[in-house]
Amino acid sequence: MAAKIGLWVILRPGPYICSEIDLGGLPSWLLQDSNVRLRTTDKGFVEAVDKYFDHLIARVVPLQYRQGGPIIAVQVENEYGSFDKDKYYMPYIQKALLKRGIVELLLTSDGEKEVLKGYIKGVLAAINIATFQKDTFKHLHNIQKNKPIMIMEYWVGWFDTWGNKHNVKDARDVENTVSEFIKFEISFNVYMFHGGTNFGFINGATDLGKHESIATSYVALAHLMLKVLWKIAWPMTVSWCLADYDAVLTEAGDYTEKYFKLRKLFGSVLAFPLPPLPKLTPKTVYPSMRPSFYLPLWDVLQYLNEPVISDKPINMENLPINSGNGQSYGFILYETAICSGGELHADVQDTAQVFLNETSIGILGNADQYLNIPKVRGCQRLRILVENQGRVNFSWKIQDQRKGLIGSVTINNIPLEGYTIYSLEMKMSFFERLHSATWRPFRSSYLGPAFYIGTLRAGSSPKDTFLRLLNWNNGFVFINGRNLGRYWYIGPQETLYLPGTWLHPGENEIILFEKRKSGSYILTNLNPSFKTVL
């Protein structure tokens, strides 16, 4: 595709890519063995890398420039200087690429200071920066002289996390910085140029003392590329199409002030005129809608795949499902019996709703692992619904990202035994089975996790739009079985991008999985919206 439209490619095949996606792009089944250290030369990890490269690089080799293709350079892993757990790892990845036939320029990519730990002798070192200052290249010059300067990532914005402010970078700052790059003949990539979306459950997370989930408006291409190599469950990415990120183009492909400033700047230094602006993708507002029916989660369990029966809790990744690959994303529900009240303790990642039968009794999470259980009559059903809100995508904490219940559950220090475990991956096949369910007429006051179904009428020529969930709390939206991503009242993101290509002419099925309480209307907007979070 790149060659067809006249682009050169700098390929960044990982195996780790960061990109603010789940586990930095590494497949979750790598977490099944707690002894395997990710991004090191541990036997279990390099065996997985070798298998991945055996499949991938064979497809890449004929697309290199020297064979008439568009690939002019290949990056060796990503930002390893920030990880730096194994001095043999980066040379191993370099050799793995070379012996499989990569002949184009090799690069590394690291932060300004981290480049001292991430570079490889004989490989062009590039850096990632947010601002251009007098000493920006001080550390780079210490490790390589008389080589061209390459800024692999010039950050023109930043990503958002739920519950925090919407990040915005002044367009004039971007314009001034890029002017300096041009003045000093510095090569650079704009990161990101085109915005995208965390469709599905693929968002990553940060953890700087507190787990924070990355918002839905972020990543697109990594999700698409993941499907190419689904059998080995490993995505790759390309640097020019990833993030909304306050980027040069929005996730819907719309122009921003940064776009026009950079276009004018480039036009002033090029010896040839720029092509005319492409037309924007048309957008529209559809009639507001309310769900017609709903299904409490407890009514849905019969439509899930067979549950796992276990004496002890099992985390997502180690569930014996999906041909031994475990569960990557979504929710997991644990059921067991309790015959007394007391202090409940559960080691949860990331967030759990706790129920006695169908009644909510509290929330557990990474920071709150204790809950008082009221007195019970006889034996009752204890239910713990855990959501994977995104695995950390950066730092050493990627080693400890198993989701669900990751230890025993106790009441008054006595372990509970005997679990029925349901996997809620919410794949397309699951929604097909839900069509045979007996849905209840919609009510606007239902409390608890539930599915809500309604109809979006798109007319004869569907167009892009943005969904806004009025008075809903926290959950996911599915259009014709496709997962648009997470909504959450805490912001900063208030709308979900809905591509017109995902809509059918006429009626479209819209299903919400709401975790807490039913809302009222589902609205559409012409533009994305964000709220100020203090």
Domain limits, the chain: 9-269, 312-417, 430-525
Q: List all residues 6 or more positions away from 206 whose beta carbon is below 8 Å from its beta carbon.
A: 161, 212, 214, 392, 393, 394
Q: Which two tokens stand for residue 202?
A: 């693929």
pLDDT tens digits, residue range 353-409? 999 999 999 999 988 999 999 999 899 999 999 999 999 999 999 999 999 999 999
**Residue 305: its pLDDT value, please?**
96
CATH number of the domain at 312-417, please? 2.60.120.260
102 and 147 in contact (C-beta within 8 Å)? Answer: no
Say yes or no: domain 9-269 is CATH 3.60.21.10.
Answer: no
In the chain, what is the greatest distance between 2 CA atoms, to the nearest angstrom?
83
- Residue-level pLDDT at 195: 80
Q: Which residues 6+ apart lie within 8 Å of 59 measured at CB?
A: none
Query: What is the predicted pLDDT for the residue at 469?
Result: 95
Same fold, 9-269 and 430-525: no
Provide the token pair at 30. Answer: 């790598």
Give catalytic residue positions. Answer: 79, 153
pLDDT at site 196: 87
The pLDDT, as a whole number, for residue 73 is 98
Q: What are phi and psi of 45, to 5 degrees?
A: -75, -45
Candidates 3.40.630.30, 3.40.50.720, 2.60.120.260, 3.90.230.10; correct CATH number of 430-525? Answer: 2.60.120.260
Alpha helix stretches (DSSP H) within 36-183: 43-60, 89-99, 115-118, 138-143, 171-183
Residue stretches of the chain with pLDDT short of 50: 219-243
Give the model confidence (pLDDT) of 284-297 as tens digits: 999 999 999 999 99
Q: Given CA atoms 41, 44, 45, 48 in this order, what sign does their dihedral have?
A: positive
